[in-house]
Structure 1
Amino acid sequence: MAPIQKMYQDGDVAIIHGVGYENSPRSHFRSMDIWHTCEPDTLGTEGWLARVIRDIDPHKENVITAVSMGPALFRALVGPGIPVATVENIDSYGMLTGLTPEEKLSRVLSRYRRMYSPAIGTGPVMDYLGQTGLDALEGADILSAAPANYSSNIEYADTSVGKKLKGIAQIHLAGLGSRIFYLDHSGFDTHADQVATHARLWGEVSTAIRDFFDDLASHNAADNVVMFLFSEFGRRVHDNGGGTDHGAGGVCLAIGKGVKGGQYGEYPSTRPSDLDQGDLIPATDFRSVYTTLVEDWMGLDAVSVVGGNFEKPEFILK
């Protein structure tokens, strides 16, 4: 993690300890749902970032206010009537990209638009399908310009997280009005071979993050980006031989020039008597960390986004 260590030494990394919520289910699916919806006690219907998108762009003037980098839409971005572009590879992103010549592609896409438009106003299901189709076409048109307008002297590492962050840099530097980007990097669920696996994965993540921020800095665009990293739960205190099982309290990172670097929150006690069935007890509710991001970075009201008032750690520069 040497690249992140250097950024930490420069004051650009905040480490928030003991983050989580009460009664961790130790389930990937339920835990991710809780982090994505801010609903630890019920099954949420809307992602927390979907609510942020609605506040940023209430009239849906930009269909790429948010971009989900991956093969599927992340739950945090899901909400009724919230347009989000889902991009797996920005270089090949678009509608019917294999169709040639250009005139033929233009005719086919025009037919799609004529097909989707009449559906709107005929009922809720057709409204949704028609508007989603039109948003996808518009988003593809807008994003198609990003790779062609991008140039950089940064060579990103050939990893999945490196490719995703390069794609985000391309879109961000194109000045298309996108405000939120979401991606993941899997493989950290190490029930075995944890030491070697985490060393490799954190090496990939750290290098990609350094390349990303170096890229932005070379374009004078690093000051307006904050990156937030989290996992759906921490790991158990004691190993199971070669790895660790699902736990509770964990750690989050906030990275960027807008971050007040340092360590925040109390690291949970590891004494056996202070554990909850072998897990670290969270000291910081994850919604308080979201509150800092929503209020201090995005300048929005956090109560409606996270579902209440939470004391926030002050890790954003003002």
Structure 2
Amino acid sequence: RSMDIWHTAEPTKVIGDGWLGRAVRDLDPKGENVLTGLNLGRGLPRALSCRGVPVASVGNLESYGLFPDVREEEARRDTLNTFAQMYGGAEGRDAISQFIGETGSAALKGADILRTAPEKYSSSVEYAANPLAQSLKDAAQVMCADLGTRIYYAQHGSFDTHGGQLPTHNKLWGEVSSAVGDFMQDVREHGRDEETLVFVFSEFGRRIKDNGSGTDHGSGGVAFCIGGSVEGGLYGEYPSLKEHDQLEGDLHFNNDFRSTYSTILEGWLGLDAVPIVNGNFEQFDFIRKSKISHKLSGVG
């Protein structure tokens, strides 16, 4: 349920559309670019899901595409033509057939565009070998290809450490640090650090007291915003550890997560945040004002 809340920006009821999916919809209301939003990983996170909004999911950019095992050019062309005919002409079909047709057509179009990204990319940065670093390398390649992608999403974990927390967190945070560090070095090398914002979040925190070698789910947490246009600092008060200030044994959060979302949506992506987060929330001032077209990279 906590993941639903963070991914949809709706804590009072269960809804299907994610906040970033709604952002993609508003960034490209006519659906002209099937790559406005891009997930680097398998499946589609709830945050990027939105009815009628195509979002590509890429497990590995180097091998991404339709029928990558068909290598002979003429056979591949025939296979892709058959696929296009199968999913084309969605008008006049029932709703389910139309959805499947539109999804197939979007996949074909997105795959055709994305296959050009690695060819246009060169960098002196050697990314770490962990999965998050490789996902962010893929994001950098797409970004440098100028395909019009505005939102990139990747995930890493699991940080759900009910046991063995110290060694697990030491490994995971080392991987996050090296991955984000490599990515920022790469976009800086390409002169894009001021147009890139990395937003790192987890859908729940940990409790104050341990349960032996780990901790259970807690309410208080932290999020990070990283980039060349970010005003560094701590936004919000550090929560008190005093027992009478705790929330049933948890840290008491003092920033509404939708305030952070609203700041990113309006201050970074130039959107009206109210219909996306379903309300008007106080915003922070961690984004420097500029006229640059911005990209958002999210790490969940």
TM-score, structure 1 as length reference: 0.89
Corresponding residue to 1:205 among 169, 172, 176 = 176
- The residue type paired with residue 299 of structure 1 is G
Q: Is the 8 A contact 1:156 1:162 kept in 2?
A: yes
Q: Deviations over 1:29-52 (max 9, x none)?
A: x11110011111100121111111
Please state if 1:83 is matched with 2:50. Answer: no
CA distance in 1, matches of 2:123, 2:81: 34
Please state if 1:58 is matched with 2:25. Answer: no
Equivalent residues in 2 for 1:110-129, closer than 5 Å: 110-129=81-100
1:187 paired residue number: 158
Please state if 1:99 is matched with 2:70. Answer: yes
Question: How far is the alpha carbon of 1:100 from its aligned partner?
Answer: 2.4
Q: Is the 8 A contact 2:16 2:46 kept in 1?
A: no
Equivalent residues in 2 for 1:88-237, closer than 5 Å: 88-237=59-208
Q: Is the 8 A contact 1:164 1:183 kept in 2?
A: yes
Question: How far is the alpha carbon of 1:108 from its aligned partner?
Answer: 0.8
- The residue type paired with residue 179 of structure 2 is A
SS at match of 2:87: helix
Unaligned regions of 5+ residues in structure 2, if any?
290-300
Residues paired across the two proteins, number: 289
Q: Is the 8 A contact 1:38 1:44 kept in 2?
A: no
CA distance in 2, matches of 1:149, 1:242: 47
Greater RCO (Cα-Cα under 8 Å, separation 6 or more): 1
Q: Deviations over 1:54-97 (max 9, x none)?
A: 11100111000010111110101101110100001001000000
- The residue type paired with residue 182 of structure 1 is Y
SS at match of 1:118: coil
Q: Deviations over 1:158-206 (max 9, x none)?
A: 1111111101101111110000000110121111121121111111111
Equivalent residues in 2 for 1:286-301, closer than 5 Å: 286-301=257-272
Question: How far is the alpha carbon of 1:281 from its aligned partner?
Answer: 1.5
Percent identical among aligned pairs is 50
CA distance in 1, matches of 2:281, 2:261: 9
SS at match of 2:152: strand
Q: Is the 8 A contact 1:120 1:131 kept in 2?
A: no
Q: Is the 8 A contact 1:265 1:313 kept in 2?
A: no
CA distance in 2, matches of 1:100, 1:189: 42
- The residue type paired with residue 31 of structure 1 is S
SS at match of 2:82: helix
Please state if 1:276 is matched with 2:247. Answer: yes
Question: How far is the alpha carbon of 1:294 from its aligned partner?
Answer: 0.4
Question: How far is the alpha carbon of 1:302 from its aligned partner?
Answer: 0.4
Equivalent residues in 2 for 1:62-77, closer than 5 Å: 62-77=33-48
Moved over 2 A (4+): 118-121
- The residue type paired with residue 194 of structure 2 is D
Q: Is the 8 A contact 1:38 1:306 kept in 2?
A: yes
